[in-house]
Amino acid sequence: MPAIFEALPGLEVPVGAISRSLAEMWVNTAADGRPAPEADDARATQVNLVLHLGLNSTVEDALRQFEVLVNFARRYPSRIVVLCPLAVDVPRCEMRAKIFGECFLGKSKSDKRCVEFVMLSYSVCARPFLENEVSICLSTDLPLYYWAHRFSANGRLADYRYLLGRAKRVLLDSAIAPADALTYPWPNPGAIRDLAYARLLPVRQSLGQFLAAYAPAALIAGLGRITVTHAPTLAAEARVTRAWLEQRLAECGLAQGTATFAVESVTGENAGALAVRFSYEDAARHFQWHGDLRTGQAQFEADFGTGLTRLPAAVSLLTPEYALSEAMFF
């Protein structure tokens, strides 16, 4: 994790001078003739976001997430705190800080949006002081969002009760989180959001819009099995799709236990393959959707007793920055 802190962009500053250093950063930037906000309201932030990099993070991964946050801030001006814990076997007691700022032009020259980063590297010994330092770094009177990325154990993350309890949303990615992360007894379970669910928004919308053309009774009559198949790299997305389908079909009137839901990994498929199939007691009735998230192409095929329908469609996942905003705000 020291390598991650060193690799992240920014200027190292004393931990006790973060607020002053952020203010001076903009003043010095303007004095040098570089882009900077002309007034405090020009860089007014909308949200506080804490990205907590788990010990499973790598330098390359951390830099990718940093870029995701920069892209996110182009739409939502933010104060972002990036937490970089040191390994548990680091004996020294230390906390280091970096600051980084960037502004972007919106639709006009007067539409300027800025992001401020504070990076904090801390050892286990300095852990008791972390929440106090984070609270100082955040903008007051703004909602807090907490993104836990690649943490190694639920119990270790659960120790950060200040962040988990105060956050309006706690963001996890079930594709890379511990297996029971979404069912773990977090302090505020209602705040948990899965990034895998968020990035599947276009898939859910496409499936929902197609199936909405048929009466709910036609969808569930004689329905015996719902199967979601996926390439090995899309296991989390398949699990999310299966759970979503079970919920939506229950809202259509499907009684619990009358149909079987299954998720199957298919080897030999390309890395973007994701498919859904409804099987009925009457073999003439069926529904299937097959998507290739790599090429962006999908195909619907259905017959609910009114004739066969085939329809090509587009398919994609939300980009990471859009998935982040979807999980945070919707």
Q: 173 pLDDT exceeds 90?
A: yes
Joined tokens for residue 44 = 């007014």
In which band, very low, low, confident or very high, does the pLDDT at 34 lie, cut at 50, 70 and 90?
low
138 neighbors 79 (Cβ within 8 angstroms): yes
pLDDT at res. 298: 98
Tens of pLDDT, residues 196-236: 999 999 999 999 999 999 999 999 999 999 999 999 999 99
298 neighbors 205 (Cβ within 8 angstroms): no
- 3-class secondary-structure state, position 91: coil
The H or E element containing residue 235 is helix 235-251
pLDDT at res. 320: 98
Terminal CA-to-CA distance of the chain, rounded, Å? 32
- Whole-number Å distance between alpha carbons of 163 and 144: 8
- Whole-number Å distance between alpha carbons of 196 and 325: 13
pTM, entire model: 0.93
Domain range list for the chain = 2-194+323-329, 201-314
151 neighbors 177 (Cβ within 8 angstroms): yes
The fold of 201-314 is Dihydrodipicolinate Reductase; domain 2 (3.30.360)
**Beta pairing class for 309-314 and 297-303:** antiparallel
Q: Among 253, 297, 255, which Cα is nearest to 272's?
A: 297
User: 């839901």: which residue's tokens?
Assistant: 261
Tens of pLDDT, residues 299-322: 999 999 889 999 999 999 999 999
Mean pLDDT of 173-195: 96
Question: How many CB atoms neighbour CB 91 within 10 A?
Answer: 8
Q: Among 195, 193, 172, 203, which Cα is nearest to 317's?
A: 203
In which band, very low, low, confident or very high, does the pLDDT at 42 lie, cut at 50, 70 and 90?
very low
Q: Among 116, 113, 184, 108, which Cα is nearest to 151's?
A: 184
Q: What percentage of the chain exceeds 90 in pLDDT? A: 80
In which band, very low, low, confident or very high, does the pLDDT at 41 lie, cut at 50, 70 and 90?
very low
- Whole-number Å distance between alpha carbons of 250 and 235: 23
Q: Which of 73-77, 197-201, 250-254 has the lowest mean pLDDT?
A: 73-77
Ramachandran angles phi, psi of 197, nearest 5°: -65, -40
- Whole-number Å distance between alpha carbons of 313 and 172: 29
Q: What percentage of the chain exceeds 70 in pLDDT? A: 93
